[in-house]
Amino acid sequence: MNAAIRGCVRAGLKAGFEIDGIMRGYAGLLKEEIIPLNHRSVSNIISHGGTILKTARSKEFATPSGKEAAVKILLKHNIDALIVIGGDGSYRGAAELWQKFDYPVIGLPGTIDNDLNGTDQTIGCHTAVNTALDAIDKIRDTAHSMERVFIVEVMGNKSGYIAVEVALGAGAEDVIVPGRKFDYERMCRDIKEGNKKGKISWIIVVAEGAGHAHEIANTITTMTGLETRFVVLGHIQRGGTPTGQDRIMATRLGAAAIDLIQQGMFGKAVGVLQDEINVIDIKDATHKEFRHLDDFCHLIKLLT
């Protein structure tokens, strides 16, 4: 997100705009935590994970009165347009500001789950996958040395994107994702048969919304008699040095948001499709379906 903030600020200043930053998202907006941003404010942040503006959830903003108060604060501070960097919740809030209050908004896709429409990838998803892959590569060494089954839980409450990408990239033996029925008996049968043939280690990736790693590990131990360990990667996937792909995409999207503001195009979300900037209505940008999920899961099994 820092690369996106930098892209917005640098492009906005070049266009002759004054740029303010709102600390802690909608929660900070309602508390009027608004600060000026300039070239120096965003110096040397492109290589840093997270966001210099911080982030927070806001129950108050989710209410109609909260959104109305937010618009009044924006107008009070003479803010002519709002660029929202976030996921589907942030987008839904921004869409309501545009639809119900006619307040100018632009959305940038900032979520590691890659679950927004109108873009092939979202800001942060590439870095999150690489971070998880790095961890699993290390776990694989232990699994092979100690001849054990390992369950690795990655983020993805409603989305299986990270789990599938990580499982495929890590050469995992199986993947468990939300919204897809999983055959535990078949998996345990495969593990036992593989063990008889001399296969000494297994890596199984599970998205957090599809099951709990410790419960799956217990199930496998009970059904196979083989020692099984689990690792929950958790918030390690949300930090770290962003990849070059994430930095470049975020910078391009920040500049594209400023272009839309200059053109007077609001209520839009900006993304990248086939390496080209893509613009859609922000109300249509939530809930992307990962269409190739079954194909990817089949490929993982095919290559095991």
Q: For residue 102, indicate whether it is catalytic.
A: no
3-class DSSP state of 136: helix
Rounded-to-integer distance, Cα 246 and Cα 241, Å: 10
The secondary structure of 87-132 as a DSSP string is SHHHHHHHHHHHHHH---EEEEEB-TT--BTT-SS-BTHHHHHHHH
Instruction: Report the relative pairing of strands 202-207 and 174-176 from DSSP bridges.
Output: parallel
Give bridge partners of residue 279 from the DSSP assignment. Answer: 270
CB 184 within 8 A of CB 151: no
- Beta carbons within 10 angstroms of residue 181's beta carbon: 4
Distance CA 130, CA 245 (A): 11
- The whole-angstrom separation of Cα 166 and Cα 137 is 10
The residue from 80, 102, 113, 284 that is catalytic is 113
The Cα 200–Cα 143 span in angstroms is 8
Whole-angstrom Cα distance, residue 112 to residue 127?
A: 8
The dihedrals phi and psi of 252, each to the nearest 5 degrees, come to: -60, -40
How far CA 20 is from CA of 53, 99, 300, in Å, comes to: 11, 23, 46
Structure token digits, residue 235: 């918030």
Residue 193 Cα to chain centre, angstroms: 36
End-to-end CA distance of the chain: 36
Could you give the residue numbers annotated as active site? 113
